Structure 1
Amino acid sequence: MSRRLREFVVTRGRARDESDLPLETPITRTGNSAPRPLNPDEAALASQCTSPQTVVDLSAGSQLAVGVVRVLVLDLVDIGVLSLGQQAKAQVAPHQDITLLTEVLDGIANL
Structure 2
Amino acid sequence: MSQDRTGGTRVPGSQWYDGEAGPLVRPYAMTGGRTRPGPTGVRLDLIALIALDTGAPRFGDDTGLGPEHRTLIELCRTEPQSVAELGAGADLPVGVVRVLLGDLLELGCVTVSRPTPPGLLPDDHVLREVIEGLRAL
Would the TM-score normalized by the shorter structure come out above 0.5?
Answer: yes
Worse overlay, 65-74 or 82-91: 82-91
Q: What does residue 42 of structure 1 align with?
A: 69
| Cα distance, 1:5–1:39 mapped onto 2, change above 3 Å | closer
Q: Percent identity?
A: 32
Who is 1:7 aligned against?
Answer: 27
Matched, 1:85 2:92: no
> Paired residue for 2:80, among 52, 55, 62?
52
Alpha-carbon distance in 1 for matches of 2:107, 2:87: 20
The residue identity in structure 1 corresponding to 2:30 is V
**Taking structure 1 as reference, are residues 91 and 4 closer, same or farther at Cα in structure 2, changes over 3 Å only?**
farther
> 1:30 matched to which residue of 2?
53
Aligned residues: 91
Unaligned runs of 5+ in 1: 93-111
Query: Residues of 2 paired with 1:12 and 1:68: CA distance?
Result: 10
For residues 9 and 37 of structure 1, the distance between their equivalents in structure 2, rounded to whole angstroms, comes to 14
Deviation at 1:6, TM superposition (A): 1.9
- Residue 61 of structure 1 pairs with residue 89 of structure 2: yes
Higher helix share: 1
- Per the TM alignment, residue 77 of structure 1 is displaced from its structure 2 partner at its CA by 0.6
TM-score for both structures, normalised by structure 2: 0.58
Residue 45 of structure 2 aligns to which amino acid in structure 1? P
Give the greater-gyration-radius structure (CA).
2
The structure in which a higher percent of residues are strand is: 2
Deviation at 1:16, TM superposition (A): 1.6
Alignment partners' CA distance in 2, 1:67 and 1:4: 17
Equivalent-residue separation in structure 2 for 1:20 and 1:40 (angstroms): 24
Taking only aligned residues, the RMSD between alpha carbons, in angstroms, comes to: 2.4
Q: Which has the higher contact order (CA 8 A, sep 6+)?
A: 1
